[in-house]
Structure 1
Amino acid sequence: MEIKNIEMAIEVLEKSPEFADLVPEVRSNIVMAKEGAKETKDVAGVPGRITTVKGWPKSFMKPDFGVSSHMARLVLSMMKHDPQRRSALNIRYSEEIVDICRKLGLKVSSYNRHHEPEDVVNFEGGTIPWGVEEAIDKLGDIPDVVYHTGGWGKEPMVCLTGPDALEVAKTAVCISKLYSVRVKKSKNETHTKSERNLLKNSMTISGSFEDSYSVVFAPSRSEYIGKKAHVSCTFCAIAEGNSEVDSRVLYKNNNNMIIMNMFPYNRGHLEVVPLEHVTDLNKLGSEEIKDIFVLVQRSIGLIREVLKPDGINVGINLGKAAGSSIKHLHIHIVPRFKVESGFMETTANTRVVEESIDETYTRFMEKIDILRETHEV
Structure 2
Amino acid sequence: MTDNPLLPGADQPGEQGTSPYEPDELAGRDGVGVPDPFMRLWTPHRMAYIEGENKPTSTDAGSGCPFCRIPGLSDADGLIAARAESAYAVLNLYPYNPGHLMVVPYRHVADYTELTQAEVADVAKLTQQAMQTVRTVSAAHGFNIGMNQGEIAGAGIAAHLHQHVVPRWGGDTNFMPVVAQTKVLPQLLSDTRALLAKSWPTD
TM bin, normalised by shorter chain, reads 0.5 to 0.7
1:279 equivalent among 96, 104, 110: 110
Query: Does the Cα contact within 8 Å between 1:256 and 1:275 map onto a contact in 2?
Result: yes
Q: Could you tell me how far 1:205 is from its partner in structure 2? A: 2.1
Counterparts in 2 of 1:316 and 1:347: CA distance versus 1, 3 Å: farther
8 Å Cα contact 1:257/1:272 also seen in 2:
yes
Aligned to 1:335: 167
Structure 2 residue identity aligned to 1:293: A
Superposed CA offset, 1:174-211 (max 9, x none): xxxxxxxxxxxxxxxxxx989x57x99895323xxxxx
Cross-structure match for 2:53: 226
1:353 Cα deviation after fit: 1.9
Match of 1:351 among 179, 183, 201: 183
- How many residue pairs were aligned? 167
Counterpart of 2:31? none
CA distance in 2, matches of 1:323, 1:241: 27
Alpha-carbon contact 2:105-2:119 (below 8 Å) kept: no
Which residue of structure 2 lines up, in the alignment, with residue 270 of structure 1? Answer: 101
Match of 2:124, SS state, is: helix
Residue 229 of structure 1 and its aligned partner are, at CA, apart by 8.2
Question: How far, CA to CA, are the matches of 2:150 and 2:138 in structure 1?
Answer: 30
Q: How has the CA–CA distance of structure 1 residues 317 and 301 changed in structure 2, closer, same or farther, with 3 Å as cutoff?
A: same
Contact 2:86–2:118 (8 Å) recurs in 1: no
Aligned mates of 1:325, 1:342 — CA distance in 2? 25
Structure 1 residue ranges (4+ consecutive) displaced by more than 6 angstroms after TM superposition: 199-202
Structure 2, unaligned runs of 5 or more: 15-40, 58-62
RMSD between superposed Cα atoms in Å: 3.5
The 5 A counterparts of 1:136-147 are none
Q: Is it true that 1:249 corresponds to 2:80 in the alignment?
A: yes
Alignment equivalent of 2:135, drawn from 293, 304, 312? 304
**Looking at both structures, which has the greater relative contact order when contacts are Cα pairs under 8 Å and sequence separation is at least 6?**
2
DSSP 3-state at the match of 2:78: coil
- Note if 1:235 corresponds to 2:67: yes
Q: Quick one: distance in 1 between partners of 2:85 and 2:147? A: 22
C-alpha distance in structure 2 between counterparts of 1:235 and 1:348, whole Å = 31
**Does 2:120 align with 1:293?**
no
Question: How many angstroms does 1:366 deviate by?
Answer: 2.5
Q: Distance in 2 between matches of 1:229 and 1:204?
A: 27
Corresponding residue of 1:158: none
Summarize the Cα distance change of 1:358–1:240 in structure 2 as closer, same or farther, 3 Å threshold.
closer
Q: Kindly state the Cα deviation for residue 273 of structure 1 after the two structures are TM-superposed.
A: 0.4
Any unmatched runs of 5+ in structure 1?
Answer: 1-191, 207-216
The alignment partner of 2:109 has SS state of coil
CA apart distance, 1:285: 2.8
Describe the superposition over 1:76-125 as per-residue Cα deviations: whole angstroms up to 9, x where unpaired.
Answer: xxxxxxxxxxxxxxxxxxxxxxxxxxxxxxxxxxxxxxxxxxxxxxxxxx
Q: What does 1:114-133 align with in structure 2 at a 5 Å threshold?
A: none
Letter matched to residue 155 of structure 2: S
Q: Deviations over 1:1-57 (max 9, x none)?
A: xxxxxxxxxxxxxxxxxxxxxxxxxxxxxxxxxxxxxxxxxxxxxxxxxxxxxxxxx
Higher helix share: 1
Post-superposition shift, 1:338?
0.8
Shift of 1:307: 1.2
Q: How far, CA to CA, are the matches of 2:186 and 2:139 in structure 1?
A: 15
Identity of aligned residues (%): 28
Q: Relative to structure 1, is the Cα distance of residues 324 and 343 closer, same or farther in structure 2, using a 3 angstrom cutoff? A: farther
Asked which structure has the greater CA Rg, the reply is 1
Q: Structure 1 residues 193, 284: closer, same or farther in 2, change over 3 A?
A: closer
Return the match for 1:205 from 43, 59, 62: 43
Distance 2:142 2:151 in 1: 26
Report the CA distance between 1:282 and its aligned residue: 0.7
